[in-house]
Amino acid sequence: MRIEIVAVGTELLLGQIADTNSAWLGEHLASAGVDSHFHQAVGDNQARIVLALRTALSRSDGVIVSGGLGPTQDDITRESIAEVMNVGLVRDESIIGRIVEMFQARQRAMPENNLRQADVPVGASIIEQTRGTAPGLICPLGNKVIYAVPGVPHEMREMFERGILPDLRRRMAELGEESVIKSRVVRTWGASESGLAEALDERVAELDRREAADGSTLTIAFLASGIEGIKVRLTARAQSEAAADAILADEEKRIRAIVNERLGDIVFGVDEESMEDAVAQLLVRRGLSLGLAESLTGGLIAARLVNVPGASVWMKGSVVAYDSAVKRRLLAVPPGPVVSAAAAEAMATGARAALGSDIGLGITGVAGPDEQDAEQPGTVYVGLVIRDAPPISLQLHLPGDRDRVRQYAAISALDLLRRSLLAQPS
């Protein structure tokens, strides 16, 4: 099964936004065992959208088109698909009902042009809208198909999972094409890409040589994800989902063991598990609550942590002390330079007292571009105190501009907390 991806929007051609939708769709089609040989981007022009769709259909079994389903005059994906299908558009009463409801729920008046979103090419079925106002479309053309989804990423993703993937799976089953490709991502923090590759070199070579008796395959790839660390992606192709899962589970165990022996405790999660998820799990397991004192990160660490569901159980809060006077007044940081190990430890202790938490985590440093307290941009101190134990601290030298220094500082502080919690008794 081959599916081509077509992204609609003049802003893509003009480079005003990057086409992240096509990358996401490509990744998720590959996971489902669907080939995607071409992507196209095209502007908000009916003749050109029609040409792009016809070109795509001529070299694939189907097309996913994203964008151009909104309410305004330049949203013309519906009209373009109808032209390719050689049918008209009908206004669907049930869709109108849902759009009207959505505006009522938000207590806003509905501009008339929203009704365009209820237009459906004759013969197409819809993927009901649950987030935005525009539904998705499933448009059959003989034994081929055009799927249309909104360009807003979170709407597109949800409709792909709920509406497109099941329909693709059904079509593949009819063709007897059901091989399954599954991936698992092992996430690490604290090692370089080349260091990780070197540690796993032998295993990668072994997999390259291997020919599985049942035709299944397994590959390892390394992805540098900037501030989120280095990812090791395991990809298995097998006859069934269960068989692929078994291969991945086995390999994950092997990779963890090799990495742990060679590089220490650098694996913090799998797939979508973030560093804050890892910290949250450990806090719950140890029965400890957390309070923060943030200077250069300005609330970034707290904002990451409260996004974990159930955070209210262990998260007390954060004192974002951007101003030095606030550090002294609310956190009792003693006189002296505020970019120092002593200040970070005092902030941790002060956060624990002010917020009434078991653990205090303090972070101070220089985001740049100017130096502060005679310290260079990128110099960061993290302080940590758990219960009545003496505070500890860590000095870091982080690369990059203002924003990257902050992002690296936030994940580094969370990793220090994670490692310290691992060492605590349950």
Cα 216 from chain centroid (whole Å): 28
Judged by CB under 8 A, does residue 226 bind a copy of itself? Answer: yes
96 binds a copy of itself (CB under 8 A): no
Q: Which residues have a Cβ under 8 Å from the Cβ of 47 and sit 6 or more positions away?
A: none
Residue 371 makes contact with a copy of itself by CB under 8 A? no
Q: Does 329 bind a copy of itself (CB under 8 A)?
A: yes
- Our finding on whether 395 is near a copy of itself (CB under 8 A) is no
Q: Binder to a copy of itself among 88, 94, 97, 154 (CB under 8 A)?
A: 154
Task: Check residue 415 for interaction with a copy of itself (CB under 8 A).
Answer: no
210 touches a copy of itself (CB under 8 A): no
Does 140 sit near a copy of itself (CB under 8 A)?
A: no
Give the phi and the psi of residue 334 in degrees, each rounded to 5. -70, 165
**Taking the complex as a whole, how short is the minimal distance between the CB of residue 52 and a copy of itself, in angstroms?**
6
The conformation of residue 253, written as its DSSP 8-state character, comes to H
Residues 308-327 contacting a copy of itself, CB under 8 A: 309, 311-312, 315-323, 325-326
Q: Do 293 and 317 contact (CB within 8 A), yes or no? A: no
Answer for which of 111, 215, 264, 287 binds a copy of itself (CB under 8 A) is 111
Interacting residues with a copy of itself between 30 and 59 (CB under 8 A): 30, 36-45, 48, 51-52, 55, 59
194 lines the binding site for a copy of itself (CB under 8 A): yes
* Interface segment toward a copy of itself; rule CB under 8 A; list 147-155, 162-170, 240-248, 382-390: 147-155
Residue nearer to a copy of itself on the CB measure, 140 or 298: 298
Shorter beta-carbon distance to a copy of itself: residue 123 or 298: 298
Residue 270 is a binding residue for a copy of itself (CB under 8 A): no
Of 123 and 400, the one with the shorter C-beta distance to a copy of itself is 400
Nearest to 119 by CA among 63, 62, 43, 68: 68
Q: Does position 224 bind a copy of itself by CB under 8 A? A: yes
* Pattern 1-20, a copy of itself, x by CB under 8 A: ---------xxxxxxxxxxx
Alpha-carbon dihedral 168, 172, 175, 177, rounded to 10 degrees: 160
User: Residue 27 interacts with a copy of itself (CB under 8 A)?
Assistant: yes
Contact 187, 229 (CB under 8 A): yes
CA distance 18 to 268: 30
Binding of a copy of itself at residue 412 (CB under 8 A)?
Answer: no
Determine the Cα–Cα distance for residues 115 and 110; give it in Å rounded to an integer.
9
Q: Which stretch binds a copy of itself (CB under 8 A): 247-255, 274-282, 306-314, 337-345?
A: 306-314
Tokens of 253: 């165990």
Nearer to a copy of itself, 27 or 206 (CB): 27
C-alpha 150/C-alpha 68 separation (Å) is: 7
Nearest to 139 by CA among 186, 181, 89, 104: 89
Q: Using the rule CB under 8 A, which residue among 46, 74, 88, 422 binds a copy of itself?
A: 74
Q: Other C-beta atoms within 10 Å of 353: how many? A: 15
Q: What is the DSSP string of 199-212?
A: HTHHHHHHHHH---
What is the C-alpha R_g of the chain? 26
Distance, CA of 349 to CA of 364 (rounded, Å):
13
Does residue 402 interact with a copy of itself by CB under 8 A?
Answer: yes
Smallest separation (angstroms) from a copy of itself to the CB of 326: 5
In the region spanning residues 336 to 365, those forming contacts with a copy of itself, defined by CB under 8 A, are 354-356
Which CB sits closer to a copy of itself, 67 or 121?
67
Do the Cβ atoms of 111 and 101 come closer than 8 Å?
A: no
Binder among 33, 62, 68, 70 for a copy of itself (CB under 8 A): 70
Nearest to 192 by CA among 229, 233, 220: 229
* d(C-alpha 182, C-alpha 180), whole Å: 6
Nearer to a copy of itself (CB atom), residue 174 or residue 206: 206
Report yes or no: 37 and 60 within 8 Å, Cβ to Cβ: yes
- Written as six digits, the tokens of 104 are 């009522």
